[in-house]
Structure 1
């Protein structure tokens, strides 16, 4: 299950490490706030374009799997899902500061989910939100016609955020199934025969399960198309409205997004909550054991914005005016400090990835008796907190007071 990440993660995400250049090499005097803001919109469009393109590949592989459910076609669909997460995880830095992304994100990346809403679960290994009346609804075993519209109608049904019917993690659950940890080195082990119509179908309702997987994947492509268009050039869209903002407000949105992903979301909700509970139910990609890649992708996304650079999935490098240059013109020492803190966070996240590549997934690194794994996660959380302090200082140096990045109750 991990070999795709083993093969491709260094080339796609870790290649971004080369972007961490010394502030002494930057030509800060030539960079303007407007140039930085314009390049930020270019980065957003490129990253969402790559996320969309990879989702379309996933869609193709899912369609092939549904048409002929075999171990090989199942594995190909799972590989495509893992590949699709690589560019998407880097886009999350655009979320918190931009209301269009923040309002949209819940439909494509919500987690954790009460998977009994969607399909069968092993009851004695199923933890769900207390009081969630839809936690065992099992839409696939039901009679309602499965369509993207039905899935959207069940998203946060009854006001519960645990009712996740759409997006990457609903698709992930359908491809992998529950991760029961019967072997700590294995992720979910859903059989391909769960999608085999007619004789040989396992766990019943195979045709409806295939319909659900297709509807969820098609909806993901539709949603990513919308966001790609929201950042496309030369259109009346969010990108145009951002470029029309006062420079200080646009920079505030950029820095707020970086700080909020760094502190409240990644350090807090995605890492510290899972660590404190020592629970895989609280990890991000719990069915596929891909959480380590999600973490590193988020860290890389913050680095992308700071350096004004993005390594595209085709290997090409997009680079333009950067916050690093703009900040160096105001306070070279602070720019160097922030860069060092970003590098420390990346190194710490890479240690989590390295352990996962050696067979110790994130859900094993956070168990109570794994002191070394806990220490790696704690070091990454501490580094993310430190870089957020530097981001707050950077905002002030650029004339933005009281950035107030979003935090998490778990970090209080």
Structure 2
């Protein structure tokens, strides 16, 4: 168990305390605190992305095995707050429209850099083997593109080049691929094994184009920082005309609906469906979320933690401080104390179930890509049990919504049946 996991579990041990509610809270206060949590989460995402960028800059000056490992750990640390931000995506269009440039997946990594000869890519994707790192001009379909100078702006423009959503040039997963390389282990143990010498300029360079590969890595990380700074600004309390002001000026029920819809849609269609059910039913490591690094257990856990944060009004910041305030849990308890206890118990049960994916990876050395293997019956059961817990949690979210006066929530199923 990592220190971060220990801190989170300690902070939230026993779940949300209904007795802690000293005075009635209003719907408007709950929405305001939701905006406070969003700002804190994006501020932490920005600060950890800046730390990653600094670590990359240091590594590229003098590449080493130890330096590459330090960068990988900085990437993993940066994922902790960002995954907790995804709960804001589905209820807020401004986040959903922006999110693809930072977290799109799965991706055809041959667009970016060298891949194995038996590389599996999306059928019909003309950019699947473009290899931006190795080429200064790309020809994709009828288009010829100048990619001689790798800048954050160019990388952003190359997303979905040729019309394919699999052509992901930027974001956390592009950086992840550049750090780990392909995971060629299938459903067997092991993550990507990119050598630090892929970044050594000169005679020690492996796989060619080492200087240019470093330029791509640095530009992609700079774009990540720039994008996160923009979103952090949208939730800041001292900026005129930003999204926070728009949200807080709307009726409080509109804000509550966004909160609950975001929680339910992440729980059901996205996390249970797109990120677990799809991969399990196809036994497909290509559909694993953090597939190059085998960090998927953490990605799923912190997605669930983000849902939990919004319901309870609690957020454990990266500096160790605990942000707390008026919550949906408070509103539910004010209306129906017994139902509040039942709903809270379901949230606790689901969070604990998702955490079993972390236990499997960190204690039993069975990562998500191993759990979904066709011949791993116990692993399949663990993932199926987690999907079931997320479905049950979505039911609890709908119950909470009804209690606070938000009817017909209809969380997004992403066209999955549960």
Give the TM-score of the pair, scaled to structure 1. 0.95
Rounded to whole Å, the distance in 2 between the matches of 1:396 and 1:53 is 37
Could you report, residue by residue, the CA deviation over 1:7-41 in whole angstroms, capped at 9, with x for unpaired residues? 33423543453271243x24275111011111111
Name the Cα RMSD after superposition.
1.4
How far apart, CA to CA, are the structure 1 residues paired with 2:207 and 2:417?
41
Contact 1:272 1:381 in 2 (8 A): yes
Asked whether 1:234 is paired with 2:238, we answer: yes
How far the C-alpha of 1:56 sits from its partner, in A, is 0.6
Q: Any conservation in 2 of the 1:19–1:309 contact (CA below 8 Å)?
A: no
CA contact (8 A) 2:187 2:372 kept: no
Residue equivalent to 2:141: none
Which of 367, 380, 385 is 1:379 aligned to?
Answer: 385
Structure 2 residue 267 is the aligned partner of structure 1 residue 262: yes
Q: Give the alignment partner of residue 11 of structure 1, picking from 6, 9, 19.
A: 6
Q: Which runs of 5+ in 2 are unaligned?
A: 137-146
Contact 1:272/1:411 (CA < 8 Å) preserved in 2?
Answer: no
The equivalent position to 1:317 in structure 2, one of 319, 322, 336, is 322
Residue 212 of structure 2 is aligned with which of 205, 208, 215? 208
Q: Distance in 1 between matches of 2:22 and 2:87?
A: 23
Aligned residue-pair number: 405
How far 1:78 sits from its partner (Å)?
0.3
What is the DSSP-based 3-state SS (H/G/I as helix, E as strand, rest coil) of the residue aligned with 1:411? coil
Separation in structure 2 between the aligned mates of residue 247 and residue 82 of structure 1, nearest angstrom? 36
Gaps of 5+ in 1: 1-5
Give the conservation status (yes or no) of the 8 Å contact 1:28–1:328: no
Q: Which residue of 2 aligns with 1:165?
A: 169
1:37 aligns with 2:31: yes
1:95 — aligned with what?
Answer: 89
The normalised TM-score by structure 2 is 0.94
2:120 pairs with 127, 137, 150, which one?
127
Distance 1:221 1:36, change over 3 A: same
CA drift of 1:410 comes to 3.5
- Give the equivalent residue in structure 1 for 2:395: 389
The equivalences for 1:142-221 within 5 A come to 142-143=135-136, 144=147, 145-181=149-185, 184-221=188-225
SS of structure 2 residue aligned to 1:255: helix
Answering whether residue 115 of structure 2 is matched by residue 111 of structure 1, we say no
Query: Offset of 1:335 from its aligned partner?
Result: 1.8
